[in-house]
Structure 1
Amino acid sequence: MSIVDSVTKAMVPIHREGWPFVAIALVATVVVGYFVSPLFWIGLFFTGWVCYFFRDPKRVTPVGEGLVISPADGVVSHVGLARAPQELEIGDEPLMRVSIFMNVFNCHVNRAPVGGKITRVAYRAGKFLNAELDKASDDNERNGLVIDMGDTRIGVVQIAGLVARRIVCFVREGENINAGERFGLIRFGSRLDVYFPVGTVPKVALGQTMIAGETVLADLSQPQAPAPTLTRVS
């Protein structure tokens, strides 16, 4: 294998949503650097960071009946009972929720936690509070999905954060999706909430690091039982 082939194989792909930002950063770097040489290197570093932010690495999704997979890279910031957003239309009773906070250094490509039919896609405008705060689930701009697995439904909510200003969703109602398949992206710091049937016992803990498309959040095929509400203290 040649050096060029080795470097190409080692490179992490950039998601198509990121290419316009990479182009803008690169052009700005060249233009500004032409007039102020030291700023060229700063701009080049920034362009590299933009490439890093929009990286879209390959993931190997576990296969198994009832497995719910993390939809995002990041850290678990909440595990416990909470009411799902009304626009999801999955009931008013508290459900088990796992929240995953993504900082600006995490990969922001979101992946489906389960396979099934998308029966609901609902966007709601809102604020841009720190996504790590629990109230961000209620107050912030968000986009929610409901995935019907046949015998149960899973809710997934993309939540904009303090820096994030754009939620991107690639799927529509009525489409089928596989576990681990890309369904959206949030730009520059955000959070994902996953809502399970009440009684689901999560297999993750507060502060645990998640890998989108790979980390198992819960196994719905195992016996379920009520779990206490826990909130991470910053």
Structure 2
Amino acid sequence: MRMRDTFIKPMHPEGIKFVAIFAAITVVLFMLANFLGWIGVGLTVWCYYFFRDPERVTPTREGLVISPADGIVSLIEPAVPPKELGMSDEALTRVSVFMSVFNCHINRAPVAGEVKAVAYRPGKFFNASLDKASVDNERNSLCIEMADGRELAVVQIAGLVARRIVCFVTPGAKLGTGERFGLIRFGSRLDVYLPNGVAPQVRIGQTMIAGETILADLMVTDEGSSSPE
């Protein structure tokens, strides 16, 4: 990898207009005062990095659930998937990944499968690290059916700063593990509802990399043994 590639990452097209706005404001700030202009330069660079869209190397072993977001595991607890998805009312293990404004905000499919449902629900904008954010905040939920018939839910949740959830897929779409399916601006959270009996392979406070970090293994149950094929 070239040194340039370490610092200069591709930017998602969603970010172009925002970087342009920040750059235009920077020009105005320079007209007012040099130090204000340099502050604008810093914010413009931050905006560019917020919308960065680097390539990721996704593990290929069958049965792995991969993190859908960069960030920190903030919660692991039993919870019922969003009712608008039409899934079972049974509580499943929910793993929440909190994204700060400095994380890459491109969201990636945790598993391969068919998108059975996409459901947007408006809501509030509490800090996304809080437990109540899963219930009260603006969200966009996906139900993905895997080849073995099991379902997994992944939910984009807007945060204290975020005001826009973007989803690239619709019901019927086929996703590969690690494939991009959306993004959130600017600071937010992703919840993953694991299939019944599947144990998470992460801990609270662990740093996650979207499309790369293993979140769970579908072949490992809550008791720690391998499930039958």
What range is the shorter-chain TM-score in?
Answer: over 0.9
Other-structure match for 1:131: 128
Other-structure match for 1:216: 214
Equivalent of residue 88 in structure 2, options 70, 86, 91: 91
CA distance in 2, matches of 1:63, 1:155: 20
SS in 2 for 1:61: coil
CA distance in 1, matches of 2:139, 2:6: 35
Bigger drift between 31-40 and 102-111 goes to: 31-40
Using the TM superposition, give the Cα deviation of residue 10 of structure 1 relative to its aligned residue in structure 2, in angstroms: 5.0
Amino acid at match of 1:82: A
Taking only the aligned residue pairs, the percentage that are identical comes to 61
- Is 1:105 aligned to residue 102 of structure 2? yes
Amino acid at match of 2:158: A
Using the TM superposition, give the Cα deviation of residue 35 of structure 1 relative to its aligned residue in structure 2, in angstroms: 3.2
Using the TM superposition, give the Cα deviation of residue 15 of structure 1 relative to its aligned residue in structure 2, in angstroms: 0.9
Gaps of 5+ in 1: 228-234
- Is 1:55 aligned to residue 48 of structure 2? no
TM-score (norm 1): 0.91
Amino acid at match of 1:59: R
Gaps of 5+ in 2: 225-229
Equivalent of residue 73 in structure 1, options 65, 70, 75: 70
Other-structure match for 2:155: 157
Other-structure match for 1:176: 174
Other-structure match for 1:230: none
Using the TM superposition, give the Cα deviation of residue 109 of structure 1 relative to its aligned residue in structure 2, in angstroms: 0.5
Structural RMSD (CA) = 1.7
SS in 2 for 1:51: helix
SS in 1 for 2:116: strand
Other-structure match for 1:231: none
Change over 3 Å in CA distance of 1:171–1:220 after alignment to 2:
same
CA distance in 2, matches of 1:217, 1:15: 25
Other-structure match for 1:232: none
Amino acid at match of 1:14: M
CA distance in 2, matches of 1:111, 1:192: 10
Q: Is the 2:112–2:177 Cα contact (8 Å) retained in structure 1?
A: yes
CA distance in 2, matches of 1:225, 1:180: 24
CA distance in 2, matches of 1:76, 1:40: 36
CA distance in 2, matches of 1:6, 1:126: 43
Other-structure match for 2:41: 44
CA distance in 2, matches of 1:113, 1:8: 26
Equivalent of residue 119 in structure 2, options 109, 119, 122: 122
CA distance in 2, matches of 1:94, 1:6: 47
Deviations 1:108-131 (A, max 9, x none): 100000011111000000000010
CA distance in 1, matches of 2:99, 2:196: 25
